[in-house]
Amino acid sequence: MARVGKKHSTDFYELRCISCGRTVREKESSTRCPSCRAPLDVHYDLGYIRSRLNRYSLRNSPAKALKYLDFYPLRNLDLVVSMNEGGTPLYRCTRLSERLGFRDLYIKNEGANPTGVFKDRGSLVELTKAKELGAKAVCVASTGNMAASVAAYASVAGLLCYVLVPEGTAIGKLAQALSYGARLLQVRGTYNDAARLTEEMSVRHGFYLAGDYAFRVEGQKSQAYEIIEQLDWRPPAAVIVPMGCGTNMAAVWKGFKEFYELGLIDRLPRMIGVQADGCAPILTAFQTGAERPTPVEKPFTVCTAVAAGDPVDGLKALAALRESGGCGVILSDAEILDAQQQLAHLESVFVEPAGAIPIAALGSLLTTGRIRPDEVVVCVATGNGLKDPKAAMRVLPSPATIEPSMAEVDKFLKLRLYEIRAAGARDGARSLFEKAPSRPRVVQTVRAELGVKLTAEYAKRVTALVTDFVEKGKRITKADLQYIVESVLKALSEPAPILQVEDFQITTSLKRKASAKVWFIFDGERAQAEGVGVGPVDAVVNALKSAAESRGKLFFDLVDFQVEINSPGTDASVETTIIMKDAKNDRVVATGTSPDIIVASVNAFVEGYNMLWSRQKS
Ligand SMILES: *Cc1c(COP(=O)(O)O)cnc(C)c1O
Ligand SMILES: [Zn+2]
């Protein structure tokens, strides 16, 4: 059939319910079946698509989502909403292959899309459809990436965009969605709470409902088309896809099937689905042979992008695994964060945790024989790591801050501070001591866990500090031990500081201001000072200020004070950061760590003051 203008001349596709088979007009619904609420699917007249197929241009123009317009259910190509998505790199992973024992391992880096995620491919079709249907505004529920993607495309389309996300959504994704102009609400609840509200919102207010529905699948299937083209039209043996709602798994599988049915490839890959153990409803159903997923009430995983407890496209994803002869692997957060690091270290591809789940699964797929080492395997790295930097920082050392002097750089190298921090960051939450340990035990643990040999003097101080913490009821984790060792190494490599705090005492009550008393040594001389404040931290900081001001001739000012709680629980370690400046506006940033917020604040203050003092002297 010939092309008439830029419009398709025929109904070359229809929407059909995947459960009751009913045909649905797209003006009626493009999300769920009006009769049975099951998801819809787009069915094509493949003969029509085949008749329009330009095999020459398909083979000879570079892969890009826009290249496949004829494979999308769009009627008016004048309305296409695009940001030039797709065409993402397919990397051959040589170092990772070698490490894991594969021969032909690839990463499809979907983080290279305009908003950093494969969802842009779906937004291309979905927002174009919203315009075709005359929408004035769209609404969407999201764990963050969908929000950013739909917001960006809605803005290009000139449509208002309302977004509902669960509270605690990754900061990079929030900032993106808001910047693109989305009107965003955070819901105190899960992704599925947000999804339920959004569906209702679309009906009540007449907004176009965007999200993991049939038209999005049509856009996202271009990942499969591109993989085929980038492998020179030889389909891979297996493709590994992280699953949240299961929509992307369904989309990639549909893409492969269409190329197969059009005779563009002669075999199909096995689809391997991967999920995090804090939210694995699709794979639990797959493994137990259940017909449909049982919802997970409270998903809990570092991979927030796949924390969909009641997956909209669970049935489609299960069908993809079963039809393709594929399988599934469920991974722990620790394994996934480790894989995220491996991928970054070995291949310089930085993904968000969800995007690393396929990498985490490779080892077990190989050892259980579900993938052979000589097979061509593609992992879909779904999203860019910059969207959720906090997740990556959970297993990375927070970089030390130094004074701007070469002596500080030398000290950093000589004391091996980077190595100690890096060791402490790996598995940092593991508990090491719950009771006061002996000195030999401390020496042995420090060597095994942090790779440092303590001399007698260092060992004595580290043991004393560990004992101190334990006696206050704190269990010592690996990260705590790293902090203690580092502060002892630093303290002993420096001359005695001008200000040292020996003890403090605080009185607080419901009705009166808090008051604090500190006993300190200034330049070798013992003294005490007092202060009051709105709370205990404020009071002790004021007492310290008065201690310093009464002795030293150093003008200083507190610029900022921040508190961060590092790990969950009541015995978590607290990190305080104090920024101070002197009369010449020179600033220092000092930190203190302790299970006790007041001790952490005292430590930060003392460190900051001593830094300002030594700067002034030099
Ligand atoms: C949305 C998303 C997924 C999951 O895709 P579904 O279609 O919900 O299964 C995986 N990774 C990232 C980065 C995502 O944004
Ligand atoms: Zn139905």
| pLDDT tens by residue, 565-594 | 766 566 667 889 999 998 888 888 888 877
Mutate to test the pocket of ligand 1, among 382, 386, 388 (most ligand atoms within 8 A of CB): 382
301: Cβ contacts below 8 Å, ≥ 6 apart: 276, 277, 278, 279, 307, 333, 353
Whether 7 shows a pLDDT value over 70: the answer reads no
Checking if the pLDDT of 40 tops 60, the result is: yes
Ligand 1 mean position, distance from CA 243 (Å):
6
pLDDT, one tens digit per residue, over 370-383 is: 999 999 999 999 99
Q: Ligand 2 centroid vs 223 CA: distance in angstroms?
A: 28
* Predicted pLDDT at 494: 77
Mean pLDDT of 274-282: 98
Mean pLDDT lowest among 114-118, 127-131, 398-402: 398-402
Distance (Å, rounded) from C-alpha 343 to C-alpha 362? 12
Of all ligands present, the nearest one to the C-alpha of 313 is 1
Strand partners, 501: 520
Return the axis-axis angle of helices 119-132 and 145-157, rounded to nearest 10°: 40
Position 568 scores a pLDDT of 59
Q: What is the mean pLDDT of residues 372-396?
A: 94
d(CA 191, ligand 2 centre) in Å: 24
pLDDT on residue 2: 39
Q: Residue 3: pLDDT above 80?
A: no
Q: From the CB of residue 25, how many other CB atoms can be counted at a distance below 10 Å?
A: 10
CA of 41 to the centre of ligand 2 (A): 11
Q: Which ligand is nearest to the CA of 15?
A: 2
Q: Structural domain boundaries of the chain?
A: 218-388, 406-490, 499-617
- Domains 218-388 and 499-617 are alike in CATH topology: no
Count of other CB atoms within 10 angstroms of residue 504:
20
CA 129 to ligand 2 centroid distance, Å: 21
The arithmetic mean of pLDDT across residues 228-235, rounded, is: 96
Q: Which ligand is nearest to the CA of 354?
A: 1
Ligand 1, atom nearest to 243 Cα? 9
**Would you state the pLDDT for residue 281?**
98
Using N-to-C axis directions, what is the helix angle for 439-450 and 456-471, rounded to 10°? 100
> Rounded to the nearest 5 degrees, what angle is found at the Cα of 104, between the Cα atoms of 98 and 106?
95
Average pLDDT over residues 445-454: 92
Asked whether residue 550 carries a pLDDT value surpassing 90, the answer given is no
CB burial of 46-82 (b: ≥16 within 10 Å; e: otherwise) equals eebbeeebeeeebeeeebbbbbbebbbbbbebeebbb
Residue 322 CA: distances (Å) to CA of 96, 267, 310, 533: 28, 16, 20, 65
Ligand nearest to the CA of 252: 1
The pLDDT tens digits of the residues spanning 247-264 come to 999 999 999 999 999 999
Highest mean pLDDT among 375-389, 448-462, 560-574: 375-389
Maximum Cα–Cα distance across the chain: 96
Strand-pair category, 574-582 with 556-565 = antiparallel
Cα–Cα distance for residue pair 573/561, rounded to 1 Å: 17
Tell me which residue has its CA closest to atom 13 in ligand 1: 383
For the CA of 317, the nearest atom of ligand 1: 9
Question: For atom 14 of ligand 1, which residue has the closest CA?
Answer: 305
Cα of 89 from ligand 2 centre, angstroms:
38
Question: What CATH number has the domain spanning 499-617?
Answer: 3.30.160.270
The Cα–Cα gap between 481 and 428 comes to 9
In degrees and rounded to multiples of 5, residue 190 shows phi and psi of -95, 175
- Which two tokens mark 427? 């598995």
**CA 244–ligand 1 middle distance (angstroms):** 5
* Residues within 6 Å of ligand 1 by CB: 117, 119, 145, 212, 242-249, 305-306, 308, 352, 354-355, 382-383
Range of lowest pLDDT (276-290, 300-314, 491-505) = 491-505
Atom of ligand 1 nearest to the CA of 245: 8
> Quick one: tokens of 56?
């020459």
Best CA proximity match to 442, nearest among 496, 409, 485, 378: 485
Q: What is the pLDDT of residue 124?
A: 98
Domain 218-388: assigned CATH number: 3.40.50.1100
Measured from the CA of 251, which atom of ligand 1 is nearest? 7
Query: Token pair of 321, please?
Result: 């695994």
Which atom of ligand 1 is found nearest the CA of 351? Answer: 13
CA 199–ligand 2 middle distance (angstroms): 17
| CA 242 to ligand 1 center in whole angstroms | 7
- Between the CA of 186 and the centroid of ligand 1 the distance, in Å, is 19
- Tokens 């008393």, residue located: 517
pLDDT at 232 exceeding the cut of 50: yes
Q: At what angle do helices 417-425 and 406-414 cross, to 10 degrees?
A: 60
CA distances from 450 to 30, 455, 464, 478 (A): 56, 14, 18, 8
- Ligand 1 centroid to 64 CA: how many Å? 20
Mean pLDDT of 104-121: 98
Both structure tokens of 14: 């229809």
Residue of 88, 107, 109, 118 with the most ligand 1 atoms within 8 Å of its CB, for mutation: 118
What's the pLDDT score for residue 423?
87
Question: Can you give the pLDDT at residue 140?
Answer: 98
With 90 as the cut, is the pLDDT of residue 180 above it? yes
Distance between CA atoms of residues 192 and 302, nearest Å? 17
pLDDT attached to residue 416: 85
pLDDT tier, 473 (very low <50, low <70, confident <90, very high otherwise): confident
Task: Assign 3-class secondary structure to 357-376.
Answer: HHHHHHHHHHHCCCCCCCCE
pLDDT at position 447, please? Answer: 94
DSSP strand pairing (376-381 vs 104-109): parallel
The one-character DSSP state at 198 is: H
DSSP string across 63-121 = --GGGGGGGS--SBGGG----------EEE-HHHHHHHT-SEEEEEEGGGSTTSBTHHH
Mean pLDDT of all residues in 116-136: 97
Closest ligand to C-alpha of residue 23 is: 2
What's the rounded mean pLDDT across residues 96-125? 97
Chain mean pLDDT for the chain: 92
For a mutational test of ligand 1's pocket, the pick from 245, 279, 343, i.e. the residue with the most ligand atoms closer than 8 A to its C-beta, is 245
241 CA: nearest ligand 1 atom: 10
Contact 163, 142 (CB under 8 A): yes
Task: Give me the pLDDT at residue 4, please.
Answer: 40
- Does residue 204 register a pLDDT over 90? yes
Which residues are paired to 518 by β-bridges? 504, 529
Q: At what angle do helices 439-450 and 417-425 cross, to 10 degrees?
A: 90
Kindly list the strands in the beta sheet with 13-17, ordered across the sheet, starting from the edge strand earlier in the chain. 23-24, 13-17, 40-44
The least confident of 29-43, 145-159, 232-246, 477-491 is 477-491
d(CA 319, ligand 2 centre) in Å: 17
> What radius of gyration do the chain's Cα atoms show?
29
Neighbours of 404 (CB within 10 A): 7
Ligand 1 atom with the smallest distance to the CA of 250 is: 7
What number is the average pLDDT over the span 278-290? 98
Q: Which helix H or strand E contains 503, and what residues bound it?
A: strand 499-507
Atom of ligand 1 lying closest to residue 383 CA: 13
- pLDDT above 70 coverage of the chain, percent: 97
CB-based burial, 258-291: b 16+ in 10 Å, e otherwise: bbbebebbeebbbbbbbbbbbbbbbbbbbeeeee
- For residue 6, the model assigns a pLDDT of 47
Please name the amino acid found at residue 93: C
Position 10 confidence tier, pLDDT thresholds 50, 70, 90: low
- Nearest ligand (C-alpha, residue 380): 1
**If you measure from the C-alpha of residue 536 to the centroid of ligand 1, how many angstroms do you get, rounded to a whole number?**
45
Of residues 615 and 192, which shows the higher confidence score?
192
Q: How far apart are CA 273 and CA 311, in angstroms?
A: 13
pTM of the predicted model as reported, rounded to 2 decimal places: 0.84
Residues within 5 A (CB) of ion ligand 2: 17, 19-20, 22, 33, 35-36, 38
Terminal-residue alpha carbon distance, the chain: 84
What is the average pLDDT across 222-229?
98
Q: What is the pLDDT of residue 567?
A: 62
Q: Looking at residue 240, what DSSP letter applies?
A: E
- Out of 115, 117, 352, give the residue to mutate to test ligand 1, the one with the largest number of ligand atoms within 8 Å of its CB: 117
